[in-house]
Structure 1
Amino acid sequence: MEVREGGLEHPAVIALLEEHFAGMLAASPPGTCHFLDLAKLAARDVTFWTVWDGKTLLGCGALKELDPSHGEIKSMRTASAALRRGVAAALLARIVETAQARGYDRLSLETGTGTAFEAAHALYARHGFEYCAPFGDYQATDFNRFMSRAL
């Protein structure tokens, strides 16, 4: 398993992100999804990674800088065929490592609620994230949860 920076232009990555976007929209009411589209994932304040097994894409994720001391995890997605193989944990480790190297004090995320998001909640909790109040420009609703971890 290899975590690589970049790859937004790869057709398999675009397809996985489109699957991610569709999944978020299907599992959440209109107006409650906060994913970054392809253009926003390519912004200067976002670092994007992909995870590969040879030529097979296993997953992707991103780190957005909110300010010089605070980062946000975005667009974490594991390919369906790669679930339960440690892809998300490997990617999360790279994101945490990068955030620490940048000197961030905190790493946060916003995610959905309900069955479709339970595995994500469990993953982040296993890695030291705790539920918190909304951060940045987010507003709390019945359809989102916020988690954060001090670094």
Structure 2
Amino acid sequence: MAVTIAIESPLQDDVRALVAQLNDHLLPLSPLEFQFKMSVEQMADSTTTLFVARDAAGKAVGMGALKMHGPELGEVKRMFTLPEVRGQRVGRQLLERIVDLARERKLPVVMLETGTGDGMAEAHRLYTRYGFTPRGPFLDYPDSEWSAFFELNLAAAVRVA
């Protein structure tokens, strides 16, 4: 699918709607205490860069963010695409932009936390196909059956088509 991807503010109505849809998607997948969501206000912080994918009509169809945790670690946050565009490589394009920004910032590693179970199988496939590898918890995330952790070593990373 042809989309345009740009850095945008999360404080827009259509981005707020994407965040709400992501939160609704996640709600039944794990207990609330194991859902590490960022609000749009938190996403608007200077440490976070949000990419928004828009279709030819300008509709927001996906998003993903890079949150900086100092000069050594970037975290992929709030990855989501609308159900009607899944399988059309929109998530892949968003992930590429996030990783490219991490490389520009000379980060040695990018990590992420995501849920587990059938509802997250597509996300796991996207991350592993891109080159992310499973790892243990990082930062202050608890080790639990509800979370899966991945990292991409940017110094050693080779892009997979």
For the superposition of Structure 1 and Structure 2, which TM-score range results when normalised by the shorter chain?
A: over 0.9
Instruction: Indicate the structure with greater strand content.
Output: 1
1:42-61 mapped onto 2 (5 Å cutoff): 42-54=44-56, 55-61=58-64
What TM-score, normalized to structure 1?
0.96
- Cα drift, residue 7 of structure 1: 3.6
| Corresponding residue for residue 19 of structure 1 | 21
AA matched with 2:53? V
1:1-151 mapped onto 2 (5 Å cutoff): 1-54=3-56, 55-151=58-154
User: What is the DSSP-based 3-state SS (H/G/I as helix, E as strand, rest coil) of the residue aligned with 1:125?
Assistant: helix
Task: Check the 8 A contact 2:62/2:82 in 1, yes or no.
Answer: yes
Distance 2:18 2:32 in 1: 21
User: What is the DSSP-based 3-state SS (H/G/I as helix, E as strand, rest coil) of the residue aligned with 2:143?
Assistant: coil
- Cα drift, residue 4 of structure 1: 0.8
User: What is the DSSP-based 3-state SS (H/G/I as helix, E as strand, rest coil) of the residue aligned with 2:32?
Assistant: coil
Q: Structure 1: any 5+ residue segments left out of the alignment?
A: none
Distance 2:108 2:11 in 1: 31
Pairwise CA RMSD = 0.9
Would you say how many aligned residue pairs link Structure 1 and Structure 2?
A: 151
Q: Structure 2: any 5+ residue segments left out of the alignment?
A: 155-161
Q: Deviations over 1:21-67 (max 9, x none)?
A: 12112211120000111111011100011001131222001000012
Identity %: 31
Task: Check the 8 A contact 2:9/2:44 in 1, yes or no.
Answer: no
Task: Check the 8 A contact 1:3/1:91 in 2, yes or no.
Answer: yes
Task: Check the 8 A contact 1:66/1:136 in 2, yes or no.
Answer: no
- Cα drift, residue 13 of structure 1: 1.4
Task: Check the 8 A contact 1:41/1:48 in 2, yes or no.
Answer: yes
AA matched with 2:97? R
- Cα drift, residue 9 of structure 1: 2.6
Distance 1:28 1:19 in 2: 16
AA matched with 1:66? H
